[in-house]
Structure 1
Amino acid sequence: MPQLSPAPSGPDPSAPGPASSRLVALDWGTTSARAYLLDTGGTVLDTAPAGRGVLAVTDGLTTAQDRRAAFEEEFERMCGRWLEAHPALPVLASGMVGSTQGWADVPYQRLPQDLEALAGALTAIPTRRGPVHVVPGLLADGELPQVMRGEETQILGLLETAHGDAHTGGRRGTVVVLPGTHTKWVHVEGRRVLDFRTVMTGEVYGLVTRHSILGRLARRPDAPDLEAFDRGVRTSLSADADGGILATLFSARTLPLTGRLAAEQVDDYISGLMIGAEVASWARDRPASGGSPGAGPAEVLLCGEPELCRRYQRTLHQLGVDAPVVGGDVVTHGLRSIALAAGLLDAPTEGTA
């Protein structure tokens, strides 16, 4: 471990005491960074001011040396106060900070992959405060490779939140759905990731509604119109959708033109078309993504922004699939579990959690 530089000032009297502070956990993504101070049991003792994501930290920087210096400066801004007070605290990070555009290029781990075993593949980045350990992402190799960074930690924390310490997941494992800009559908058995797919529904929705002809007849609604959303879902699940989403999307123009869809309903209708098409695709491929004919369905869990999760939940319900939404600090739970498995954090004893 590198020698720590002398602290420029004394311990911060407002920082949690050394008897409780055990881990600095970093969720460092493309557009934002969040830092947490955890105790042994994973309780969040303190949070840092929101940090800059990978894109902002590296904006305009052309050399690896400059990027490393910028990341260390941002890390110091977020976590320096804690590490001045408690210099021996381990630090564990996940997300795009471990990408080729990040602080260090952390190699992907190939599927199938036990999530807790990621603890054996951490990359340590030296800093003046000591090493920052970074969790690797996952690679599903094949003709069309799939990758994730950060979601693997989120999934581990989600499974622990949903199942506790039991390494189970229903009759046919678990399908974890993480709605967002690039939605992930992940097939898990126990804590082992078997396969996943990435669907760009969120990003394409933004492009279609803001930068295509389909948005010309739309007006932004004052509130979500779930009736219009459900109509879009039904269309994508119907025989009219046999040509796929590219064949049904134009109805978001023709229906308003013919007076069959209000301008305020267009965006939610498009949302329903796209999420409906995404879920319909998963349902068609379901035997390969968690479940097989005659063996009973996989458990489906949702995690993400609540309003977006509810849309996926409504869509899955139309196919007869119950999909509870798992909330809470799933990333911090996942980072704590990996820290325990890596020996960065001691297991709590009675009275310390």
Structure 2
Amino acid sequence: MMERHRSLFIATLVLLSAVVLLFLIIRKAAHQTPLQAVTNLPDSLVLAVLPGVVYTADLSSPGKFLIHRLAIQQPKLQTIAILQGNVTPIYSENNMLYALYFPAITPTRPSAKIITISLQNGKTETLLPNFNPIISLGHEQLYPVAANDHAIYWLTAQVPTTKHRFALIRMNLPSRQTATLAQNIPNARQIFCLPPYIGILQEWPTHQTRTVIQRTASRIRIFRNSLCLFDDNGKAIGQIDAYNSQYPPILYEGNFYWIQNVFEPWNNSTFPDHYRIVYANLSEKAIHVLEELPAVGNAPLQLYVYGSHLYMAQSNTLGATRIWRYIPRPGGFELLFQITTHTTSQLLFRGPNCYFVQCTNHTNWFNWSHSALYGQTQFTLYRFPLNRENDHA
């Protein structure tokens, strides 16, 4: 009898200890969690976050592009623009969206327009009616175009196209004056706006190949990339060789930072073994390694610059994302926050906050219809104060 009471007492004590520990963990997490849900969204793509209003784009219907305006206080949803065809956003500032517009859903010869859409009233204007700077690289077709607050830039193939020579074109805003800034740019692949620079990624084929085993084994060619930098007038400023990345760099304190995918010799997958954050400048051109991080599957790693800080968003295959901030002295990244569920957008910075969209799937088990059992996706806009002390969630 005594043994039974003793076992019951120990079990009760263990249960109470677990409850107290769980309570402390939840209380600590609630105290340290700086997240604040701003509002539910109808779409996952956020175009702009302004005081009291959010603009989103609906891409769920093929061949249709809708812009929604959501007032945060009410909340009140308003559709301000509907375009038939395919729309690719280029750049969004406070009240304006610049985009590539393909009026036909499946055109025989893709011909686009560069348009501007007012986020205030949905008014659409055509900046360039016949925009067709297609660059073909094997099976790829690229539309290299970039924009900033005062201009739109693009690359177009020169004649003859077999020589892989391209011209850099600029359209000033809002005057819409077009000028050719540079010509005979070899092997151009992409263009980036890196104020005060214009960056052009050049891709040079090599004789090296690597075996990739997906469903079938195949050999893929390894390319050597370089980043050529121009000023706003098309004057060549400098070049960064061995730029082994397909993504644009960021400019932070005079240095160019980017992410390199590192493949070990035995890697036969399209996924890298680890990431390498590197930086270089135009004066010495040596590439320095800032950080090395493991890569898990195809989870992305992204860099951001906002204000005087460098930020990094690191995701895993389950959709969780960690947000880091770089501290120059002593040198390293500090963890700001961990998002434990799936996010569907890049980080958005506005004022003292960082915004992101969180995706959750709700299933109704009491409704056995196909749509209810499949689940309904809900998008929620969250914000995170950047000036908060470093608390880890």
Q: TM-score range by the shorter chain?
A: under 0.3
Which has the bigger relative contact order, CA under 8 A and spacing at least 6?
Answer: 1
Larger Rg: 2
The structure with the greater share of residues assigned to helix is 1
TM-score scaled by structure 1?
A: 0.28
